[in-house]
A and B are shown apart, each in its own frame.
Chain A
Amino acid sequence: MADLLEGLESIFPSDRLLCDPAYLAAFESDGLTAFRTKPLAVVIPETEEEVIAAVAWCHQNQVPFVARGSGTSLSGGSLPVANGIVIALNRLNRILKLDPHERIAVVQPGVVNQHVTNAAAPHGLYYAPDPSSQSICTIGGNVAFNSGGAHCLKYGMTSNHVIGCKAVLATGEVVEMGGPSLESVGPDFTGLFCGSEGLFGVALEVTLRLLPKPEQFHTVLVGYRSLQAAGDAVSAVIDSGLLPGALEIMDALSIEAAEAAVACGYPEGAAAVLIVELEGPRERLAHEIQCLEAVLAKTDSFAQRVAVDDADRLSIWRGRKSAFSAVGRLSPDFLVQDGVVPRKRLGEALVRIEQLAERSGMRIANVFHAGDGNLHPLIMFDGKEEGALHRAEQVAGELSRICIEMGGSITGEHGVGMEKRDFMPEMYDPLSMEMMAQVRSAMDPNWIANPGKMFPGNDAPALSTVGLHPLEKAGVISRE
């Protein structure tokens, strides 16, 4: 093994080529802590050239590699491969260009999502995709997973904001896709690269579009006595012709958890709360607020709170954004599912989830991006209990099946990764799977880029206990 790694030594100094098991432990899992694997080595490039050299070395030696940003993937996407290396990209963290005139930013893959918005803020601009992990996750990880956030209905996902990308493919070829214009000609390779889960190669430079910061927000929190009533309210808002920036629902269990964790002051006794957020120029907002009030008045709500200022708005969001970690306090371990169902079948999906909870004896809290039908059931269990993790996984699997059956998707934003790869052939027919495999082979003929992810396989890594991401435990990030 040492012989094999010799080539890497000519690329990386010893402090950036980690082989000591003690160091490797820090990289052995990602946000899906159920899976753990120790890689052969971790390399920490500081320049694009080093990344390219590392990938070329992998190509020559047929060694698998896994690109890694901050390791917050919730689907085991950045889980290492036992006989491969991890390319840790956090030091490629420079914003290479921020052009307020053209409203674009060119960034290295290790730049943290939030840092783009911070850099754009003095110009009245921001980077729209806002995963809850935005204070820590990287643009490279976002691109690989086409990550979302609370504002996808109106603004789309990461790929709707990535207009160009330079990458080194698993063949060692360096390619440039898209460019500084919102528009391009020829097939949209940038769009194909987004969401490819690191299976094509490593993104080296990403061109992002920036949007003007909305002038004003209007955030309303509404309490309902049943989940059904909250779900109906979502349909009523959508049918009214409004296009809210966010439409989110939390159920009783997640409210209880959030309340205990951050005392968010949500309406007492609510079986569900709905958060609706409108934004835009004040004149338009004033009109839309009236429409929204009229719509909400007709729903079966029992409490309503309108954010009076920014601080109040943030306090409403605090409850929502803390939900995942808060649920973590109700239960030693939990799994987050990420399925999507057609919006009009949300109610039906929730009933099925309830039944599943009863049948399995597991508690499931629900938090979801109701506007786009993206569910985040949190399946709670105790990892120390014999077979509990396995049962939780089975419940998550059944949920994936329910989503497929309802015409939805197994993942709205967390990606397939390791976790949901076995469900891909249930969502896509064999020919479509084969086409994906062919295109993957075109980009990576030897399947050395992040192998074992997205496509079903038998090489499952060791399972261990589940729990909060180490950074969540430290209070650095929270989930959405």
Chain B
Amino acid sequence: MSKELPKPTTVEDLTEWVKCNDKVLPVGNRTKAPLTRDPDCSLVSLSDLSGMIEYEPSEFTFTAWAGSRVSEIEGELNQRGQYLPFDPVLLHAGATLGGTIASGLSGPGRFRFGGVRDFLIGIQWLDGQGRLIRGGGKVVKNAAGFDFPKFMVGSLGRYGILVEVTFKVFPKPMGTLTWGVPFSDHAAAMNAIADIASSRLEVDALDYRPDRCQLAIRLAGPSEVLPDLLGELRDRYPDGQRWDESEAHAYWNAVKEFQWSDFKKPTMVKVPMNLSSFLKLEGELLDNAACRVHLSVGGNIAWVAVDHASDLDWLSDLLLAQGLSGLVVSSGLAGSSDLGRDEVVSDQDGHLGVSSGVVEQWRIGHWPRSQMQQAVKAAMDPLSKFPGV
């Protein structure tokens, strides 16, 4: 049996709920479950505070409730030939806009025009005192005041509850084409990534699967010109081949939905990366049979999948030694805005939370601490309503 989390349908109800609870953690549809397991907190789901508020295609902007499913928003954008170029992840799993921002996750499309941080332009959030605060604005260009929208990217629900969000969008390219290229070793592949990334082609995405030594190069643009651009890739990498549409779709979709590994229930970790760090790490990572890697965004994100959560300690040490950090974003448990029986507890007041038995690590490797972080946290959350950082 699963228990339903509170799902306020109005900002007033949400505010009331925040005021009535000591420690809170906002969630969307819990597609990134490890980030939502804090036994000290009552959880609240924003999933019923959803829907488009304002969409102005000619402005390249929209404003929506933070609990909106990204898939629904994408559908609306698609109808007007626009999109969020950073390839939001876990779309089909039910990711919300708020959760996407708070977890700071971008997919392969981040390569060309930027990530969540580069497209979020305005926010309204509820702080721990139940006050609604605004940051940024609703126009694509705005330099007034501190850039709270950017700050909230990656804030993990620890600094406030995103309620309303405004994004910049772009016209959606008419078509895409993917060229898959095998390499003999990782170093050669990393050189190829660097070459393509600096080339005239302005490719749309550039991902690498180390287990197959295979690079996937995605072009995007008017369908008529893609074959011509592909011609150059063919000349540069004659060993490659053009993937048919369904194959390409399956590949990119698997990356976005965290379904690219052969593990049944992988625990997925985001590791900010670059080409040289990957070459330092690749030996140890790939030697472990319980670990899989997908290198995304031209080498800037390593998605590391481990078969069991118990492998996280090993991974943590490995990252630590290289000064790298990891964010554990999914744990193989089905995402749901409800809590499964095994993880639910309610306190004496009936507030739902997570049982301490299922708490997991979500922060591994090197997470430097500074007085600045603590000071900003204290400034934005003086009552410590949200979990610590």
Which of B140, B144, B145, B375 is A153 in contact with, Cβ under 8 Å? B140
Contact with A along B206-232 (1 / 0, CB 8 A): 000000000000000110110011000
B residues within 8 A CB of A343? 58-60
Which of B58, B221, B371, B375 is A284 in contact with, Cβ under 8 Å? B221
| Chain A CB within 8 A of B325 CB | yes
- Residue with the greatest number of chain A CB neighbours at <10 A, chosen from B141, B228, B370: B141
Which of B127, B142, B368 is A409 in contact with, Cβ under 8 Å? B142
| Chain B CB within 8 A of A192 CB | yes
Q: Report yes or no: B141 in contact with A439, Cβ–Cβ below 8 A.
A: no
Q: How far is the CA of A283 from the CA of B81 in the complex (A)?
A: 22
Q: Report yes or no: A438 in contact with B379, Cβ–Cβ below 8 A.
A: yes
A194, closest chain B residue (CB): B147
A residues within 8 A CB of B156? 186-187
Q: Given A183-B115, A280-B202, A442-B378, check contact A192 B137 (CB 8 Å).
A: no
Q: Report yes or no: B325 in contact with A443, Cβ–Cβ below 8 A.
A: no
| Chain A CB within 8 A of B338 CB | no
Which of A102, A103, A156, A344 is B276 in contact with, Cβ under 8 Å? A102
| CB-contacts of B285-300 with A (<8 A) | 297, 300
B345 to chain A, nearest CB (A): 28
Q: How far is the CA of A343 from the CA of B155 in the complex (A)?
A: 31
Q: How far is the CA of A238 from the CA of B131 in the complex (A)?
A: 37
Q: Report yes or no: B141 in contact with A412, Cβ–Cβ below 8 A.
A: yes
Q: Report yes or no: B147 in contact with A439, Cβ–Cβ below 8 A.
A: no
Q: How far is the CA of A461 from the CA of B20 in the complex (A)?
A: 47
| Chain B CB within 8 A of A288 CB | yes
| Chain B CB within 8 A of A134 CB | no
Q: Report yes or no: B115 in contact with A182, Cβ–Cβ below 8 A.
A: yes
Chain A contact residue count (CB 8 A cutoff): 91
| Chain A CB within 8 A of B100 CB | no
Q: Report yes or no: B140 in contact with A283, Cβ–Cβ below 8 A.
A: no
Q: Given A181-B273, A238-B60, A435-B127, check contact A372 B140 (CB 8 Å).
A: yes
| Chain A CB within 8 A of B114 CB | yes
Contact with A along B332-370 (1 / 0, CB 8 A): 000000000000000000000000000000010001101
- Residue with the greatest number of chain B CB neighbours at <10 A, chosen from A187, A283, A438: A187
B residues within 8 A CB of A154? 113
A residues within 8 A CB of B147? 146, 159, 191-192, 194-196
| Chain A CB within 8 A of B171 CB | yes
| Chain B CB within 8 A of A169 CB | yes
A407 to chain B, nearest CB (A): 6
Q: How far is the CA of A438 from the CA of B375 in the complex (A)?
A: 10
| CB-contacts of A114-166 with B (<8 A) | 123-125, 145-148, 152-154, 156-157, 159-160
| CB-contacts of B92-137 with A (<8 A) | 104, 106, 110, 113-115, 117-118, 127, 131-135, 137
| Chain A CB within 8 A of B56 CB | yes
